[in-house]
Amino acid sequence: MKLSDALRLLRPWQWYKNLVIFVPLIFSENLTNFSLWPVLIVGFAVLCLVSSISYAINDIFDREADRCHPEKRKRPIASGRMSMSEAFLIIVALGILTVWLTTLTNFAFSLLASALFFSNLLYSALLKNVPLVDVHIIAINFVIRVVSGAFIIDLGISPWLVVVIFILALFLAVGKRKAEIEKFGQEKLKKAYNSYSKELLDRLTDVTAAMLMLSYILFTAFTHELKLMITIPIATFLVFRYLYFIHSSSVVARKSERVFLDKQMCLGIILWIVLSIALTYAL
């Protein structure tokens, strides 16, 4: 077994999704409370391990279907470069490490991390083939991540922020399905894709984009004394730019981690982060 195949199985480039665990710390104005950082870093590591274990289990479930997919057939298990026993060994080893790391956190976070794992397991085994439910499970998993960041440091979190995270994940999931169907066609994708027509996905994409902008505006209006409303034009640009990727069937919409290769998106994200932190802490 090659290290490169183990990395493809565990997909560490997807770990950026777990960075939302730090969102409650930032918007609760505790970014400079460095006593909270160690346990948050441990929590981030736990979520990353849970994600990697879930990816490995998903590849086991999907090995036959992946062999028919133009891109996923190159995955280690689907291609035959990694045996099932090797994959199980990796899963068990990471599972033991994950359980040990959770002992360094609190009970509430451990429950949420477990909920994330079982939600991912249920998704891989069954719900990914149920149209509309599949995208909602993905969005709920993001909510679990961000809420776990509040519970691990025992801080409150704005309900509007939770709504923004949920709608953002829903928007990305719907957009991914639209871009994949445009690129590959329904016959080469998951069973759930057979129920997604291009017209339906067009409407879902537009609806979730509108919901995302509305929820973000409400978040800025009801928190931080309206200071964050200054960031609305940047957020609008980022949503519009991503809509461009979706409707042009860009690889960015199919693989959201590629967004960091787009200069305009990177600049917009960096500007939004810097401005949000400055407005939250300096004013």
For the chain, the domains span 1-157, 159-283
Residue-wise pLDDT tens digits, 220-239: 988 766 788 999 999 999 99
Give me the long-range contacts of 124-131 (CB less than 8 A, separation at least 24).
Answer: 124/54, 124/57, 124/58, 124/61, 124/62, 125/61, 128/190, 128/192, 129/190, 129/191, 129/192, 130/192, 131/192, 131/193, 131/195, 131/196
| Residues 50 and 99 sit within 8 Å (Cβ to Cβ) | no
Checking if the pLDDT of 210 tops 80, the result is: yes
Mean pLDDT for the stretch of residues 30-52: 95
Rounded to the nearest 10 degrees, what angle do helices 37-61 and 3-10 cross at?
100
Mean pLDDT for the stretch of residues 19-38: 91
**CATH assignment of 1-157, given 1.20.1080.10, 3.90.1150.10, 2.40.30.200, 1.10.357.140?**
1.10.357.140
Q: What is the DSSP letter of 187?
A: G
Report pLDDT for 186: 57
Report pLDDT for 185: 67
Residue-wise pLDDT tens digits, 50-69: 999 999 999 888 887 778 77
**Structure confidence at residue 188 as a pLDDT band (50, 70, 90):** low
Average pLDDT over the chain, rounded to whole? 89
Task: Report the predicted TM-score, pTM, of the whole model to 2 decimal places.
Answer: 0.90
What percentage of the chain carries pLDDT values higher than 70?
96
